[in-house]
Amino acid sequence: MNAPIIDPLQGDFPEVIEEYLEHGIMKCIAFNRRGTLLAAGCADGTCIIWDFETRGIAKELQDKDCNAAITSVCWSKYGHRILVSASDKSLILWDVLSGEKIARTTLEQTVLQARLHPGSSTPSLCLACPFSSAPMIVDIISGTTTVLPVLISEAGNGIAPNARSKTPDGSTTYSPSTACFNKFGDLVYTGNSKGEILIIDHEKVQVRALVPVSSGSIIRNIVFSRNGQYLLTNTNDRMIRIYENLLPMKDAHKVLDELHETLDEADEVEKLKAAGTKCLSLVQEFQDSINRIQWKAPCFSGDGEWVISGSASRGEHKIYIWDRAGHLVKILEGPKEALMDLAWHPVHPLIVSVSLTGLVYIWAKDYTENWSAFAPDFKELEENEEYVEREDEFDLMPETEKVKESDVNEDDPVDILNVEKDSAFSDSDMSQEELCFLPAIPCPEVPEQQEKCVGSSSKLPDGNQSESPLSVEAGQNGHAANNASSPLEAMENSVAGETEGTRLKRRRRPSEKGLELQAEKTKKPSKTMKPSAFATQYIVGDDSGWNTEVDYYAWLEGKTFYVGDVLVFSYVKTDHNVAMVDASGYNNCNADSNYGLYDTGYDTFTLTTPGDVYFICTKAGSLCTRGWSSNLLICFLFGFSSRCRAVFSYVKGDHNVAMVDVAGCNNCNADSNYGVYDTGYDVFTLTAPGDVYFICTYHCDYADQKLKVTVQPSP
Amino acid sequence: MTTSEPTSSYKPYTLSQTLTGHKRALSAVKFSPDGRLLASSSADATILTYSTSSLSCPSPAPLHRLSGHENGISDIAFSSDGHLLASASDDKTLRIWDLLTASPLSTLRGHTNYAFCLNFNPHSNLLVSGSFDETVRVWDVKSGKCLRVLPAHSDPVTAVDFNRDGTMIVSSSYDGLCRIWDASTGHCMKTLIDDENPPVSFVKFSPNGKFILVGTLDNTLRLWNFSTGKFLKTYTGHVNSKYCISAGFSITNGQYIVSGSEDNCVYLWELQSRKIVQKLQGHTDGVISVACHPTENMIASGSLGNDKSVKIWRQEKD
């Protein structure tokens, strides 16, 4: 509705945490179709419905029989119903307006994800993806279930056992699988453990097409864009793939039936594959070639133009944003809390993310007030323009003013009634009343401060990453929202552009040793020292661990270490070791006898004093990582390999950046040779080895906002 | 709906009822969105509600008298479902009333000067208010908390309105400006200014939300396309140089602009031709507020201190 006067210069993806929602421990979230309400499933089995306009709680759905954590929430198409799945194996269907339970059914296994049939406004059919068996169609009111096939047996026309009642031994072929409905719900797209998408006509319980995605790696997520034109998959090979849906939106299953008649391959599997090529075509692949991180909760933006995904690494809250053409445009970095769920607002450039601590963060654009909106006669320019004064600019010409008035003919009819259809919801079936809002009944006037206090004191999460990282932020940075306000923190921006080109070839070996290591990891943490209340534990290199294949400079970026933080080095015992050394040891790659050399495969170091710490692996001589941690300052020293750039992104007007020499750094004087930059996004290419210094001339002096970068010669 | 000769087919409105329940000047009259209720507010610090269906009886009695404000009330607004009524008062507060029980639900405090105008958003989870403290405030209806304070104007705010889907707020002020705000973020999206910039006394979105109807204290009403910043229609003939007189769109039978006037009349203009089609005479003081029934051909008008009455006008039936 307000589209005609929205400022086109404001971009359309979020940048900063605008606000957070706090109520119990929220686990999973879902927007209704218009984005006016946000449903959140909590660890105690309640489902909170937030009014997203007021950011207040509009309703709480609580079943007295269910106090197990909610694993997924799903809205019906017109928002009248909500389906939740809980870890006590139950599925509950709610009527949103009345807040009453319509039906509850208990399955044999916990459902990780349940989705309502999108075709009906009062659906009772849903698609449930249990923890370790095939997806099934459940009629939640009658309680009947139909297990969908997940594997095609190579033998021929057969479909893998459609086990209705599984025995523990018989179901071993199943591993977690994922599935979703297409836009109108006539087909189900499932992803299986063999890396295949099966397109299933769920009424006939028949596989209609097969699309191989990646051989052998499990499909973790499968998600349609809101308009149904694109599909994404997240696979264990750390890739997100975007497919274009080639089938028509409506009656897709009929088109598939026709397709089958025209195909004449004898082999059933080949036939399904041939049909598959007519259903989906791969358009894009996304991965983080540097860190090789696993993805979590990928999804499309409301208009399908963007793709976002969280990092599955523990202890970080990173959201990657790509445009559909495949460019990484932004990495959002939140507090050091693992990300649990992610959703993009259906209409606005807003992202909400759920953290391990149970908070919901709302990411929005960092809006810069457009002052020309206040002063209509002015126009904001991107850059200075030369103004050529008209010859008669200051001449008095009374007639011209009259002319201006006449460009509107007041007799032209105006239409004050008709509304253009909202293009974003063009498929709306107008005959259906949509539930967008819950009636707001004013609360009686009571002081309502207590709620907040209770919330924060009982907020400790149940996971193993429970070192309350929030308090780190609160204590030292103010709450989380100051993302990217200083140039140093904002170095995250450089991750993508800087290193992608040079390191595309890195491969990860998913060896047995890697798995052994995983097992060890889970056992060991009990041995780690008890850090102080504010400490954070970092697994160096995250999932990749400590080896020559990880770019630790990239890993370091955006991380701030405080005294008390714990660094965990996890590596293959026979290949690597770890030694804490001083600067000379780092430069010469010699282990320091004072600190000793560790080679257990899992070693932890607690940072005890402010200052530089260096770690090396003596076996792989080139593997040197150093970080300069300090108690208050957020600074790093980076060693760069050869050609590299330093990117400073900051709030224009608040900061600037100047490259200086050592004297300039000490005296906080900008060097006239290099100049001061203040565009808000400045890039320096570092060409020669040696030390370079950067300062913000506003804050160098009293806030010590300076950075030393050491450029090392190429190895 | 619109004919080239609207006056020929025009059926005049006639006085159907006079309601005399207030002790001082009226400030606002409103019909509920479902048309069931009529409410009037007054400088006597009370609100009266009437059932619309009772208005055809000989001497309708009010359903309720809502009292609680300490000073005169300047504006009232119904929630979309007609269950709530909000009021803005010179005691600097807003109050929300439950119309089923006729009891006050909450008092919204925050304005530092007279609260002058207010409206619910279509979903009625937000309330917007304007005040003599020159700010526009957005309130959470449920919690009663002020969500946003918009430093909107440099003079008293005279009117605030949401568009039909609640994405925008328009505000007008004595400073001669109308501003459009993004309701979800509170950002100023547009400022509209006339070359002359007379004080703006009233603003309201058109039913489809594409235009705004703007009243200025130079006896003029204008229909303004806010996205292009151009005037589309100008309506004159009435007297309005002193009070913040409300106007409205009458769309139940043809399309008309209806406004009060300081010459004790209610004016009706044909929307497209901008011709005055009728002056409703009967009040004995300036007409400060008018309201059009959402579905019936009925207009309510409220008048100032010498008159203190609400009059109901109806179109003759066929």
* Dist CA A416 CA A126 (whole Å): 43
Q: Which residue has the higher pLDDT, A590 or A715?
A: A590
Per the domain annotation, does B68 fall within a domain? Answer: yes
pLDDT over 90 at B78, yes or no: yes
Which of A348-352, A446-450, A625-629 has maximum average pLDDT?
A348-352
Q: What is the pTM of this model?
A: 0.68
Which of A660-664, A666-670, B52-56 has maximum average pLDDT?
B52-56
Chain B, nearest residue to A364 by Cα: B185
Which residues in chain A have Cβ-Cβ distances shorter than 8 Å to B274?
410
| Owning domain of residue B260 | 14-314
What pLDDT does A715 receive? 46
Q: Do A36 and B234 count as a contact with CB atoms less than 8 A apart?
A: no
Q: Do A53 and B184 count as a contact with CB atoms less than 8 A apart?
A: yes
Measured in angstroms, the CA of B304 and the nearest CA of chain A are apart by: 30
Could you give the angle at which helices A252-262 and A268-277 cross, rounded to 10 degrees? 130
pLDDT over 50 at A281, yes or no: yes
Q: How confident is the model at residue B174 (pLDDT cuts 50, 70, 90)?
A: very high
CATH number of the domain to which B43 belongs: 2.130.10.10
Phi, psi of B66 (to 5 degrees): -100, 115
Half-sphere exposure of A691 (CA within 13 A, CB side): 12
Q: What is the DSSP letter of A456?
A: H
For chain A, give the longest Cα–Cα distance. 95
Structure confidence by residue, pLDDT tens digits, A61-72: 988 888 888 999
What pLDDT does B246 receive? 92
Structure confidence by residue, pLDDT tens digits, B220-271: 999 999 888 888 999 999 999 999 999 999 998 889 999 999 999 999 999 9
Per the domain annotation, does B8 fall within a domain? Answer: no
For chain B, give the longest Cα–Cα distance. 52
* Dist CA A157 CA A95 (whole Å): 42
Q: How many CB pairs under 8 A join A and B?
A: 141
Share above pLDDT 70 across residues of chain B, in percent, rounded to a whole number: 97
What pLDDT does A372 receive? 76
The amino acid present at B22, given as its one-letter code, is H
Structure confidence by residue, pLDDT tens digits, B10-36: 889 999 999 998 999 999 999 999 999
Q: Do B141 and A417 count as a contact with CB atoms less than 8 A apart?
A: no
Q: Do A445 and B180 count as a contact with CB atoms less than 8 A apart?
A: no
Which residues in chain A have Cβ-Cβ distances shorter than 8 Å to B200?
none
What pLDDT does B281 receive? 92
Chain A, nearest residue to B154 by Cα: A374
Q: Is-contact A218 A193, C-beta < 8 A?
A: yes
Q: How confident is the model at residue A414 (pLDDT cuts 50, 70, 90)?
A: confident
What pLDDT does A352 receive? 93
What pLDDT does A427 receive? 54
**Would the CA dihedral through A312, A316, A321, A325 be positive or negative?**
negative
* Dist CA A363 CA A349 (whole Å): 9
Q: Could you give the residue ranges of the DSSP H alpha helices within chain B?
A: 6-9
Per the domain annotation, does B3 fall within a domain? Answer: no
pLDDT over 70 at A73, yes or no: yes
Of A1, A415, A441, the CB nearest to B142: A441
Per the domain annotation, does B1 fall within a domain? Answer: no
Render the burial of A33-69: b for 16+ CB within 10 Å, e for the rest. bbbbbbbbbbbebbbbbbbbbbbbbbbebbbeebebb
Share above pLDDT 90 across residues of chain A, in percent, rounded to a whole number: 8
Q: Is-contact A647 A493, C-beta < 8 A?
A: yes
Per the domain annotation, does B124 fall within a domain? Answer: yes
Q: Do B105 and A5 count as a contact with CB atoms less than 8 A apart?
A: no
- Burial of A325 by CB count in 10 Å (0-12 exposed, 13-18 middle, 19+ buried)? exposed
Interacting residues of A160 by C-beta distance below 8 A, sequence separation 6+: A149, A150, A151, A152, A153, A173
pLDDT over 80 at A330, yes or no: yes
Supply the DSSP string of B36-77, one letter for each residue. Answer: SEEEEEETTSEEEEEEGGGGGSSSPPPSEEEE--SS-EEEEE
Of B107, B185, B255, the CB nearest to A445: B107
What pLDDT does A6 receive? 59
Of B83, B142, B165, the CB nearest to A1: B165
* Chain position carrying tokens 């714990």: A566
Q: Is-contact A23 A8, C-beta < 8 A?
A: no
Q: What is the DSSP letter of A499?
A: H
Element (H, E) at B188: strand B188-193
> Mean pLDDT score of chain B, rounded to an integer?
90
Structure confidence by residue, pLDDT tens digits, A616-633: 776 643 333 333 222 222
Of residues A691, A685, A688, A693, the one with CA closest to residue A714:
A688
pLDDT over 80 at A495, yes or no: no
What pLDDT does A513 receive? 28
Of residues B271, B309, B272, the one with CA closest to residue B287:
B309
Measured in angstroms, the CA of A599 and the nearest CA of chain B are apart by: 55
Q: Averaged over A410-432, what is the pLDDT?
A: 68
Range from A210-214, A348-352, A564-568 carrying the lowest mean pLDDT = A564-568
Structure confidence by residue, pLDDT tens digits, B305-316: 899 999 999 987
CB atoms within 10 A of CB A468: 19
Q: Averaged over A460-478, what is the pLDDT?
A: 35
Range from A328-337, B92-101, B130-139 carrying the lowest mean pLDDT = A328-337
Which of A334-338, A481-485, B167-171 has maximum average pLDDT?
B167-171
Bridge partners, residue B291, by sequence: B300
Range from A196-200, A290-294, A443-447, B189-193 carrying the lowest mean pLDDT = A443-447
How many domains does chain B contain in total?
A: 1
What pLDDT does A489 receive? 35
What pLDDT does B119 receive? 95
What pLDDT does B72 receive? 93
Q: How confident is the model at residue A707 (pLDDT cuts 50, 70, 90)?
A: confident
Q: Do A414 and B233 count as a contact with CB atoms less than 8 A apart?
A: yes
Which residues in chain B have Cβ-Cβ distances shorter than 8 Å to A410?
231-234, 274
Q: Do B123 and A437 count as a contact with CB atoms less than 8 A apart?
A: yes
* Dist CA B257 CA B213 (whole Å): 9
The full length of chain A comes to: 715
What pLDDT does A325 receive? 81
Q: How confident is the model at residue B127 (pLDDT cuts 50, 70, 90)?
A: very high
Interacting residues of A122 by C-beta distance below 8 A, sequence separation 6+: A76, A80, A81
Interacting residues of A422 by C-beta distance below 8 A, sequence separation 6+: A1, A428
Domains within chain A, CATH numbers bracketed: 11-364 (2.130.10.10), 642-715 (2.60.40.420)
Chain A, nearest residue to B142 by Cα: A442
Structure tokens, A96: 């949103």
Q: Which residues of A touch B (CB under 8 A)?
A: 1-2, 4-7, 36, 51, 53-56, 58, 348, 364, 367, 369-370, 373-377, 407-408, 410-419, 436-437, 439-445, 448
Of residues B13, B10, B141, the one with CA closest to residue B80:
B141
Q: Do A376 and B192 count as a contact with CB atoms less than 8 A apart?
A: yes
pLDDT over 60 at A475, yes or no: no
* Dist CA B200 CA A127 (whole Å): 57
Q: Do B272 and A414 count as a contact with CB atoms less than 8 A apart?
A: yes
> Mean pLDDT score of chain A, rounded to an integer?
72
Structure tokens, A421: 């259809």
Per the domain annotation, does B4 fall within a domain? Answer: no
Q: How confident is the model at residue B139 (pLDDT cuts 50, 70, 90)?
A: very high
Chain A, nearest residue to B252 by Cα: A417
Structure confidence by residue, pLDDT tens digits, A118-162: 877 788 888 998 877 888 898 888 888 888 887 776 544 444 444
Measured in angstroms, the CA of A663 and the nearest CA of chain B are apart by: 44
pLDDT over 50 at A504, yes or no: no
Compute, in degrees rounded to 10, the torsion defined by CA atoms A118, A35, A370, A393: 50
Interacting residues of A325 by C-beta distance below 8 A, sequence separation 6+: A284
Q: How confident is the model at residue A502 (pLDDT cuts 50, 70, 90)?
A: very low
**For residue B179, how far is the Cα from the chain centroid?**
17
Q: Which residue has the higher pLDDT, B226 or A438?
A: B226
Q: What angle do CA A241, A244, A249 make, to 5 degrees?
A: 135
